[in-house]
């Protein structure tokens, strides 16, 4: 029987575990920029949604998206390695995309490490197009690829 996944908006006590997931799963080899204070700021910010996924009460994924007037920017998305290939990332992203459509957003953009072929394939499978290679994007050391999806 598949595990029940609960998607909810993050609350301030979620800031530290989200930041630790970012440090351990996304920011590996880079300076830690998504600290608990920064995540807490996003949770409080009216223009940003911080969505979390829980399975059996345990945080197994999260996504942070900034909403502009016509465009949104997916700032972070991470899923616990044990939960990957269980549609957690897809469900987080679909929830945010639905919110973006309701808000009248026309496009969503994001950046991913150029060498992260798994993440690039994940986003392409969900309709995102790679539009630009950005050398030295991460800490002046590592390239990123920008992806965009029109809603």
Report the alpha-carbon distance of residue 31 to residue 29 in Å, rounded.
Answer: 7
Which listed residue (111, 130, 138, 142) is catalytic?
111
Query: Looking at 97, 123, 128, 137, which residue is catalytic?
Result: 123
**What tokens were used for 113?**
């490490």
Q: Does residue 128 have an active-site annotation? A: no
Please provide the distance, in angstroms rounded to a whole number, between the alpha carbons at the two ends of the chain. 33
138 catalytic residue (yes or no): no
Closest CA to 65 of 20, 89, 100: 100
User: What would the DSSP string read from start to end of 35-59?
Assistant: -HHHHHHHHH-TTEEEEEEEETTEE
Continuous H helices in the chain: 15-21, 36-44, 88-102, 117-125
How many residues are present in the chain? Answer: 151
Question: Any idea which residues carry the catalytic annotation?
Answer: 111, 123
């Amino acid at each position: 029987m598949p595990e029940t996944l609960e998607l909810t908006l993050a609350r301030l006590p979620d800031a530290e575990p989200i930041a630790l997931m970012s440090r351990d799963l996304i920011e590996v080899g880079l300076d830690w920029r998504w600290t608990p204070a920064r995540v807490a700021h996003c949770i409080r910010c009216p223009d940003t949604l911080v969505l979390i996924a829980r399975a059996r009460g345990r945080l197994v994924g999260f996504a942070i998206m900034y909403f502009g007037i016509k465009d949104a920017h997916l700032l972070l998305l991470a899923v616990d390695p044990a939960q990957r290939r269980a549609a957690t990332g897809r469900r987080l992203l679909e929830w945010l995309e639905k919110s973006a459509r309701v808000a009248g957003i026309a496009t969503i953009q994001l950046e991913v490490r150029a060498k992260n072929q798994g993440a690039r394939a994940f986003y392409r499978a969900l309709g995102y197009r790679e539009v630009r290679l950005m050398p030295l994007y991460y800490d002046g050391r590592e390239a990123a690829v920008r992806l965009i999806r029109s809603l």
